[in-house]
Structure 1
Amino acid sequence: MQSTGDGRAPPSAEAGAARDPKADAPAAGADADLLESLRALGASGRAGLGAAGDTAKALRSLVAADISLARSALGRALALMGVAIAFGGSAWLLLMATLIVFLSRTLGMPWSLALLLSALLSLAVTAWAGWQAVRYFEHTRMQATRRQLARLGIGELADFTPAPGSPESAREATRRWPPDAPGGDAPKKDERGVDLTPP
C-alpha cells in the first residue's frame, strides 16, 4: 500500500475502507429483519394454534352440554308423551261414548248402529294417521345421502346409479326403480343375497 508524504493512505484506499462497513450493514440489517419476521410468524402461528385449541375446547364443552340437555329432554319428552297418549286415549274413548249416547238417545238410533258409526269414525282416523306415518317414515331412509354414497361407489346401490363423472342426476336415475337388469320384476339383491331397498 502506498502512502502520501504525510503518512496518509491514498484517497481510493480510504474510500474502499469506508465502503466495506456500509456494505455489510444492509446485509446485517436484512438478516435482522428476516429473523424478526420469522419470530413474528412463529408467534402468530402459536397464537393461532392456541386460539384453535381454545375453540375446540369450547366446542367440546358445548357439544357435551348439548348432549346432556338432549338426553335429559328426551327422557322427559318420552314420559310426557306416555301421559299424553294415556289421557288422549281415555279422552277419545269418552268422546266416543258420548257420541254413542247422543246418537242413541237424542237421534233415536239403535245402540248397534251408534256403535258402528263411532267405530267407523275411529277406523277413518286410524287409517289417516297410519297413512301420514308411512309418508313421514319415508324421510327416515336418508335417500339423498344414500344416492350420493352410491354415486361415489359406496353401498349396495352403487351398481344402479350413474358414475361420479356422469352428467345424469342420481335422483332421476333412482326414480326409475327397479333398475333394468336381467331377471325381470324379481327383487334386486346385493352380493349377500339381501333384497335391495329402493333409494
Structure 2
Amino acid sequence: MITTLADIDFSAPAQLVAPQLIGVMLLVNGVGGRIVEVEAYDGTEPASHCYIGLTPRNFAMFGAPARSYVYRSHGLHWCLNFVCREPGHGAGVLIRALEPLAGLDTMRARRGLDDERLLCAGPGRLCQALDVTRAFNDLPLSAPPFTLVARDPVDPPQVLAGPRIGISKAVELPWRFVEAGSRFLSKPMRGGLDLEHGNRR
C-alpha cells in the first residue's frame, strides 16, 4: 500500500508507477490538486518520445528518475511528465488531469474560465492552469516549484486501467490510469479494468 511518497519507486517501469500516482496531490508553486488521470510511456514502444532514442527534446526522459519532463505538444500546449526507470532508459508518466483543489482563483485567471471541471482536464489545460512551461523541464520532483503529497492511505482511490488516448501507435496497451468516478478527467473511461478487483466497469 502507498502510504508515503517514499513508497513510490520512480526507478520502476512507468506502467507500474503510473497507477500509484492517482490520488497524489501535485502542487506547482502552491497551485494544483489531486492527480486523477495519467498515462505511462516507455522507450520500447512506438508511442513514446523515447522510441527514437536520445534527442535534445527528450533528454530529460533518459535522465534520473523522479524528475520532470516538459514538452510542447503540436506546437501549442505544454505537457508535464514524471520521469521513471533508471538513467539511460527513457520512460515516464504523462500527467493528464487533476482535481483542482489549491489556488482555484489563480487557475481560473490563467485559463480564462470559471468551470472547475475544465481547469485541469487534459495535459495542456493542466499546464496552463499550473503555469508549467519548458522552464520547468528536468527539475527534481522533490523540491520547489513542485510539491507532491501522498494520497490518503485510509481511503485510497479506485483506479481503472484502459487504452491511452490521442495516439495512433501501441494503442492496445492499457497504460491509461484514472480515478473511477472522477468528473475531472480529460475524457471518460468506459470498460476500464478495476486494478484492485480485476473486473471491468
| TM-score tier (shorter) | under 0.3
Q: TM-score, normalised by structure 1?
A: 0.20
**Which structure would you say has the larger Rg?**
1
Question: Which structure carries more strand by proportion?
Answer: 2
Q: TM-score, normalised by structure 2?
A: 0.20
Which protein, 1 or 2, shows the higher relative CO under an 8 Å CA cutoff with sep ≥ 6? 2
Question: Which structure carries more helix by proportion?
Answer: 1
